[in-house]
Amino acid sequence: MMSWIFFVLIISLNISTFTSLKITSLQLPSHIAIGQSVNMFCKFTIKPKQKLDSIKWYKDGQEFYRLLPSGNHADNEKYFLTSGVKLDNQSKELKLGFGYGEHRITLTSTDLNTSGEYRCQITESQAPFHTEQRDGTLNVIIRPDDRSPIMEVHPKVAHIDQKVHLKCSSSRSKPAAKLSFYINGERIPEAKMSTQDIITEEDGLLESSHRSMTFDIQESHYRHSPELEVKCNAKIGDAYWKSRTQKIKLDGIPSYMLESRSNANTEVSVLNWLVILYLFYI
């Protein structure tokens, strides 16, 4: 009997712990393009009969919105003027279920001042007024111009042991795009690329990035195709990704590779004739 009571107590404690007020996640993108709307979701667990005193939202430590779920409907929301924050009043939503909840807000007309550290803070309505909070960072970017990235390749026809020089640039963005190179789809390690240079444009706001690398043509580059594919990728967080691809013609295929291909073709031809003869005599 005692063991059964103990088991029930343990289960009760686990359920109580699982359903007590706790913010499980604050969901928001790390990067968005300027002018883009953004949804923020504050998800939490809560006891079935537990009431909330307030849900507050902050940017860089400054409160900009407060919801009082248990207050009078006419006066259960408060707004505070904050630089870069414009709330969509039609897109706010509080969902409460058995043991869980979710609060969503939407920011519109975003600009560079919208970037910052955001916080969701929830407080219980009964003593000891337990408070939970979770932080997340949002970065608003200006995408590079439509021509970016630009890649230069020299030479465009190369042979084994010849050096190939790659240059890539991405223009007029905020922040500067991060550049990386790929050869035949394989990303080049950072150590084999030059340090990325960032130049601030004359307006003092936008930035351009430049990067280069040099590599030697190797026998392994000839195995898949008589051409080598090189690519430059420009990336800013999760809000911008664009690449530029060029081909390098591989000159002077090694003689052993030609012999290998010739032998392979001969073997295929012999096999084809054997199949034809077999079909003819059956």
Domains of the chain by residue range = 21-141, 150-254
The confidence score (pLDDT) of residue 47 equals: 85
Asked if 21-141 and 150-254 have one fold, the answer is: yes
> What pLDDT does 233 receive?
98
CATH code for the domain defined by 21-141: 2.60.40.10
Query: What backbone phi and psi angles, to 5 degrees, belong to 272?
Result: -60, -40
Sheet of strand 62-67, all strands in order from the earlier edge strand to the far edge: 31-33, 131-141, 116-124, 52-59, 62-67, 77-79
Neighbour tally for 148: CB within 10 Å: 22
pLDDT for residue 50: 84
To the nearest 10°, the Cα dihedral for 221, 223, 226, 228?
A: -30
Taking 70 as the pLDDT cut, the residues of the chain under it are 1-19, 71-74, 253-282
User: Do 175 and 182 form a contact (C-beta atoms < 8 A)?
Assistant: no
pLDDT score at 115: 98
**Confidence (pTM):** 0.77
CATH superfamily of 150-254: Immunoglobulins (2.60.40.10)
- Is the link from the previous residue into 175 a cis peptide, with omega within 30 of 0? yes
Cα 153 to Cα 58, 122, 132, 185, distances in angstroms: 48, 55, 54, 16
